[in-house]
């Protein structure tokens, strides 16, 4: 029997898990919609500093104000989402652009008006990295309670209804029990602890939703890769426009007829093909002026972020010019299935931002963010936060609190503290290493074949076995154990869904099925926990006949 810890119980109308940009937006939107609703935000690190919107480039997608939303929708469906998207929610996202910018202004986020073109009908602007701090201040002013340093390990359920959540303090192990009429997950995507800026996306909220019985959608689209400098390990943003092999041949021209600034898997495929042909390594012939990123600090006034970029540039000085690059995994699996109001398949459960981006169906056949459009990650976090927060605020006006089962709480508590109570066991890093061995190579996660995927399944089976006996020495170690479990889950879901989809589409590429198959695979892959605890996979036909944009006749 392990040590007993202090217990704290709290109740509220809306419990928001995650204090990044989408969670904070949801909290603010919910309070503005329903001021009487009590809202608690629980963040496993520190609200305002957690999440991904306050790291990296801080860019925000902005649509041409003179654009017809239907024009961009048609472009996105044909060229980005490849008919796998939910066109209704995508159009809603496009149409709300100006409203979202205005609301951000009102919340205190400074949105510059200097724009850089990023593709057909879109621009990006650079918001400062204090955006989440501004939102946290706004949430507190509206009366939201914020609790930091408390990871949520599991959701509480009453049949097919969510009734709250449980978690523990990273500081002293205090056990938290939250009763809530609605729970909104804003916990980020699965990024497998790899890429520097985005590795804080550990998929723990995704795994909690799955364990509670929520459905997942599009898990195979979670293999976002970019080119990274071999020496600096910096992401080479826009570098794919200047790729050369060791023979000095420009290989960008092999996959790009026109200069583009959106992100495409074609660069990764070209890197892979060149390496397979023995023409590697691949180099980027760029400088600060033609890299696409040089001088951004002179375009936008972002005083909070300037010290970060100054340090980052100095650390990589001399390493990122004319350097060798490789395909590096970012991840971005975001599969919690939600409807047009960000409502998950359990009553009272909502999911916003990077934990449900592909699960919403909006981006289609691409990992999201960035969904091939730079700045769409932050903007989707705002969009989903507004939609989900307002929907939850309406829901709790008439909803009743679900029953909270003490036996369920006791079992979840025992499971949560199990790694800390074991005398010996597996270091979570050993499990994470196995998962990364599966996901990191481009030929396993972005450019796949049945043979290699079956090898990956055997490695996943080994990781699952090790994960049954994880050992922690402190509360932060407990969190690492729970995140390792979530990584194993996400990795297996990706591989099994990738085996199931026998075609190539958008970002997803099967070497043994290299063409898009609209006849058999205009379908979403759905994953749900079975009664035996194992994953159940099924498909859902895309209602393409009801959408305004139809597949082109010559595409098969």
pLDDT tens-digit profile, the chain (556 residues)? 568 899 999 999 999 999 999 999 999 999 999 999 999 999 999 999 999 999 877 899 999 888 999 999 999 999 999 999 999 999 999 999 989 999 999 999 989 888 888 888 999 899 999 999 999 999 999 999 999 999 999 999 999 999 999 999 999 999 999 999 999 999 999 999 998 888 889 999 999 999 999 999 999 999 999 999 888 778 877 778 889 999 999 999 898 865 555 678 889 999 999 999 999 999 988 655 544 444 566 788 888 888 877 776 666 555 555 589 999 999 999 999 999 999 999 999 999 999 999 999 999 999 998 888 889 999 999 999 999 999 999 999 999 999 999 999 999 999 999 999 999 999 999 999 999 999 999 999 999 999 999 999 999 999 999 999 999 999 999 999 999 999 999 999 999 999 999 999 999 999 999 999 999 999 999 999 999 989 999 999 999 999 999 998 755 4
What secondary structure does DSSP assign to 347-405, as a single string?
A: BTEEE-GGGSTGGGTSS-SS-TTTTTSTTHHHHHHHHHHHHHHHHHHHHHHH--PPP--
Give the pTM: 0.96
Cβ 509 vs Cβ 265: under 8 Å: yes
List of residues 6+ apart from 56 with CB closer than 8 A:
197, 198
Calculate the alpha carbon distances from 456 to 450, 462, 488 in Å: 10, 10, 12
| pLDDT value, residue 372 | 80
Q: Return the SS3 of 517.
A: coil
| pLDDT value, residue 257 | 65
Q: Could you tell me which of 413, 494, 459 has the C-alpha nearest to residue 190? A: 494
Cβ 29 vs Cβ 37: under 8 Å: no
Tell me which architecture the domain covering 406-530 has in CATH: Up-down Bundle (1.20)
| pLDDT value, residue 292 | 47
Q: Could you tell me which of 53, 102, 61, 96 has the C-alpha nearest to residue 80? A: 61
| pLDDT value, residue 556 | 47
Class of domain 8-222+333-398: alpha beta
Angle between helices 21-33 and 376-398 (to 10 degrees): 40
Estimate the share of the chain in helix, then strand, then coil, as percent rounded to the nearest 5. Answer: 35, 20, 40
Tell me which architecture the domain covering 224-330 has in CATH: Alpha-Beta Complex (3.90)
What is the 8-class DSSP label of residue 546?
A: G
List of residues 6+ apart from 461 with CB closer than 8 A:
none
Domain boundaries, the chain: 8-222+333-398, 224-330, 406-530
Angle between helices 204-212 and 475-500 (to 10 degrees): 70
Distance CA 361, CA 342 (A): 11
| pLDDT value, residue 313 | 65
């Amino acid at each position: 029997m392990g040590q007993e810890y202090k217990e704290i119980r709290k109740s509220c109308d809306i419990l928001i898990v995650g204090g990044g940009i989408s969670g904070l937006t949801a909290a603010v939107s919910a309070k503005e919609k329903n001021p009487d609703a009590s809202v608690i935000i629980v963040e496993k690190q520190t609200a305002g500093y957690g999440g991904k919107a306050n790291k990296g480039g801080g860019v925000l997608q902005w649509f041409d104000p003179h654009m017809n939303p239907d024009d961009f929708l048609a472009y996105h469906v044909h060229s980005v989402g490849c008919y796998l998207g939910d066109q209704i929610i995508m159009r809603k996202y496009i149409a709300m652009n100006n409203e979202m910018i205005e609301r951000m202004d009102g919340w205190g986020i400074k949105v510059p008006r200097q724009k850089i073109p990023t593709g057909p009908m879109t621009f990006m602007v650079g918001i400062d990295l204090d955006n989440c701090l501004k939102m946290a201040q706004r949430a507190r002013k509206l009366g939201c309670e914020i609790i930091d340093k408390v990871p949520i390990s599991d959701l509480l359920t009453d049949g097919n209804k969510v009734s709250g959540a449980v978690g523990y303090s990273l500081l002293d192990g205090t056990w938290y029990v939250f009763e809530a009429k609605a729970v909104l997950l804003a916990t980020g995507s699965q990024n497998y602890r790899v890429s520097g800026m985005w590795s804080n996306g550990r998929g723990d909220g995704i795994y909690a939703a799955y364990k509670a019985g929520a459905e997942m959608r599009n898990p195979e689209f979670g293999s976002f890769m970019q080119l990274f400098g071999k020496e600096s390990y910096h992401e080479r943003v826009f570098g794919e426009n200047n790729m050369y092999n060791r023979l000095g041949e420009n290989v960008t021209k092999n996959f790009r007829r026109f200069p583009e600034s959106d992100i495409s898997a074609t660069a990764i495929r070209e890197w892979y093909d060149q390496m397979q042909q023995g023409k590697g390594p691949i180099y980027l012939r760029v400088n600060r002026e033609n890299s696409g990123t040089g001088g951004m600090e002179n375009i936008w006034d972002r005083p909070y972020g300037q010290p970060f970029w100054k340090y980052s540039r100095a650390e990589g000085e001399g390493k990122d010019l004319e350097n060798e690059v490789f395909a590096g995994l970012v991840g971005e699996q975001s599969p919690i299935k939600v409807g047009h109001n960000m409502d998950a398949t359990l009553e009272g459960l909502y999911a916003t931002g990077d934990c449900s981006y592909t699960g919403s169906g909006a981006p289609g056949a691409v990992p999201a963010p960035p969904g091939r459009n730079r700045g769409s990650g932050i903007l989707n976090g705002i969009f989903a936060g507004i939609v989900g927060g307002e929907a939850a605020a309406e829901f709790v006006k008439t909803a009743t609190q679900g029953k909270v089962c003490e036996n369920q709480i006791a079992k979840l508590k025992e499971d949560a503290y199990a790694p800390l109570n074991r005398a010996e066991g597996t270091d979570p890093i050993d499990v994470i290493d196995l998962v990364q061995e599966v996901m990191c190579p481009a030929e396993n996660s972005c450019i796949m074949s049945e043979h290699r995927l079956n090898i990956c399944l055997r490695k996943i089976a080994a990781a699952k076995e090790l994960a049954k006996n994880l050992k922690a020495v402190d509360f932060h170690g407990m969190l690492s154990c729970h995140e390792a479990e979530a990584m194993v889950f996400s990795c297996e879901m990706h591989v099994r869904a990738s085996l199931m989809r026998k075609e190539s589409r958008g970002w997803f590429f099967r070497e043994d099925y290299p063409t898009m198959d609209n006849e058999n695979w205009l379908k979403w892959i759905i994953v749900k926990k079975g009664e035996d605890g194992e994953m159940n996979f099924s498909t859902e036909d895309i209602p393409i006949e009801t959408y305004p944009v139809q597949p082109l006749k010559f595409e098969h």
